[in-house]
Amino acid sequence: MISLKSTEERDQEISRIVELGNAYIQSGRDTLVVTSRQLITGKTPEESLEINYKVSSALVEIVRRIDSRPRYILAKGGITSSDLATKALEARRAKVMGQALAGVPLWQLGPESRHPGVPYIVFPGNVGDNSALAEVVQNWACPSRSSTKELLLNAEKSGYAVGAFNVYNLEGIEAVIAAAEAEESPAILQVHPSSLKQGGVPLVACCIAAAERANVPITVHYDHGADKHDLLGALEMGFDSVMVDGSHLTLEENILYTKNISSLAHAEGMLVEAELGRLSGTEDGLTVEEYEARFTDIAQAEQFIDETGIDALAVCIGNVHGKYPPSGPNLRLDLLKELRALTMKKGVSLVLHGASGLPHELVKECIDLGVRKFNVNTEVRNSYLQSLKKPEKDLVQVMASAKEAMK
């Protein structure tokens, strides 16, 4: 029992519970942290008070250190519920939502808290019947956030593709989500390493917060992770999925690099996408010349999938980053058909980068041939840059026109 353990043993027990709590929440399960029903008292009133404080402070510390976002937070009434809100969750403001049930107050945590927007419910022990708690959770818990894997599995079941759009700032994030909501369609917010270097963790946090509030399934993806150090950092930032880009390496080096990152990302519950072959073109300052480009090889693709354990394969069939030549795209649909047969057998999703500029009919044909994720950057980025040339009088107008252009 925590109240009777040494300081070192207490810290170890707290760490164990925190690790379990994070794992359970990340797996989509509601997680209950409770204290023993057994009353433990000391020899004196002072000792009993100290025991009570140790238990209460341990509970607060556990909640403070669980960093995975829950669907709701429910605290038993009393002093501890106040400490949980202010100390563990760092809430300074909350929106009063009323009562979850008669006698059960309900708040929505404010934007400065550790879990903004999450319902915070204080449940007195003497309210309602045996079904009261379940009723509150059913009515007020936030919907579970979708995962990229879930998005692609649903796309496979229903025969459509999900658009993945690179974002650089708040206007881009809002534009993607607004367009997705207008179309009642899922979407993926992608952050390229170059934009992450500029926006940092706040950019990712903004993507995650916006995804959690969207009315359609939105996930957040780390795009083109070609640097191991950057990828390892991305694994700690809350992305739903990552792309491991070892396309500049030899096949053997690419397999080793991708397998290593894939193992770490899967341990965090993240989908892993990887590229085999190499696209020509320029994206966010990274250029691959035409002579460096190469198509995805079927035999190598099978070996690559088997040895890395990836979930999604980005293929090279004549697609390019950036603008297509005036003659238009020349995609190897015969190769795509072969790759589809392979990925179907392996249970891996097909991804096509360089979707900007593809004619609608060609996009539809690629979907029919099994592509489940399209990456789009150039069209959205250019729309933003063009909007900046308009002579707006105020920065707010610039932001609004940029958002509308990208949408």
**Active-site residue numbers?**
223
Q: Dig out the tokens for 242 from the structure.
A: 């990552």
- Coil/strand/helix, residue 248: coil
Side-chain-side CA neighbours of 176 within 13 Å: the count stands at 31
- How far is Cα of residue 75 from the mean position of the Cα atoms in its chain? 27
- How far is Cα of residue 406 from the mean position of the Cα atoms in its chain? 22
Helix (H) / strand (E) containing 151:
helix 148-158
Question: Is 319 within 8 Å of 352 (Cβ atoms)?
Answer: yes
Side-chain-side CA neighbours of 92 within 13 Å: the count stands at 3
Q: How far are the Cα atoms of 296, 305, 361 from residue 338, in angstroms, in the given order?
A: 11, 15, 20
Q: How far are the Cα atoms of 11, 16, 29, 120, 267 from residue 62, in angstroms, in the given order?
A: 10, 10, 17, 16, 22
Q: Dig out the tokens for 24 from the structure.
A: 């359970």
3-state helix, strand, coil in the chain (%, to 5): 45, 20, 35
Helix (H) / strand (E) containing 104:
strand 104-109
Q: Dig out the tokens for 271 from the structure.
A: 């989908």
